[in-house]
Homo-oligomer: A and B are copies of this chain.
Amino acid sequence: DVDLREVAERTAGFSGADLANLANEAAILAARHNKTKINQIELLESIEKVLLGPERKSHILSKKEKKIAAYHEAGHALVSSLIPDTEPVRKISIIARGMAAGYTLKMPAEEKKIITKSEFLAELAVLLGGYCAEKLKFNEITTGAANDLEKASDLARRLVKEYGMSALGPISFGEKEELVFLGKEISEQRNYSEKVAAKIDEEVKKFIIEAENRAKKLLTKKLALLDKIAKTLIEKETIEKEEFEKLIKDNS
């Protein structure tokens, strides 16, 4: 009853502890379902719980928030589907999980050891898809994008400072040092001048603005499809992979 290939694909990147946690959650779930064996359904549900934290059904969104969350997640998913170099969308949801009002789940088919600049640029555009969708639809910015902006900014900084992917060239900036007496804490020692710090900021800004423009342009062109995905989400709260792919195909 278990499709191991699907489980393996969806748990790519899991640590040993994550896998132990997963087995445990699936067993609990099977017990709740009065089963003596774990089936695919318990495994898949547990994978999401391990990845995103428990669903928070009590954490109900207002109508206005639901609409914002729907367009936000639809933005991520649509940009992702329109850009090559991205992994397929597996699930979109506006049921609150952990701290987030909604989520879009993409999982790599296999664990990557090497990531290219093109893939990172695609990731940046997808991350800004939620922000752009909200702005486009409501002419408004909300706190819902804060986590995406943090991730995108951190990633852009890494492109410039660690991966030599900006106009600053193949130089590494900033020494990481583990502060042993503080446990796991890692702090960066600034080993460059203010002048270089300002150039790094400019390159980071360029990456973010390019990603924003890319996402905005794609969403503007496919506004009707964005509306459709968002409306489906408001209605059903969750869209699975197959349905999402059908939505995209029917509207291309």
**A residues engaging B (CB < 8 A)?**
59, 61-62, 65, 68-69, 96, 101, 110, 112-118, 128, 131, 138, 140-146, 149-150, 152-154, 156-157, 162-165, 169-173, 175, 177, 179-185, 187-189, 191-198, 200-201, 204-205, 208-209, 212
Contacts and interface: CB of A to CB of B under 8 A. Distances in A.
A69 B113 CA distance: 10
Nearest to A173: B153
A171 B194 contact: no
Contact of A141 (B116, B128, B212): B116
A201 B212 contact: no
Question: How many identical subunits does the complex contain?
Answer: 6
A204 B171 CA distance: 8
Contacts of A169: 205, 208-209, 212
Contact of A171 (B149, B164, B181): B149
Contact of A188 (B62, B146, B189, B200): B189
27 contacts: A61-B113, A65-B114, A114-B142, A116-B141, A117-B142, A118-B140, A131-B164, A142-B163, A143-B163, A145-B170, A146-B164, A146-B172, A149-B163, A149-B164, A153-B172, A154-B172, A169-B205, A170-B208, A170-B212, A171-B204, A181-B183, A192-B201, A193-B197, A193-B198, A193-B201, A194-B194, A195-B198
A206 to B, nearest CB: 11
Nearest to A162: B146
A112 B64 CA distance: 10
A170 B201 contact: no
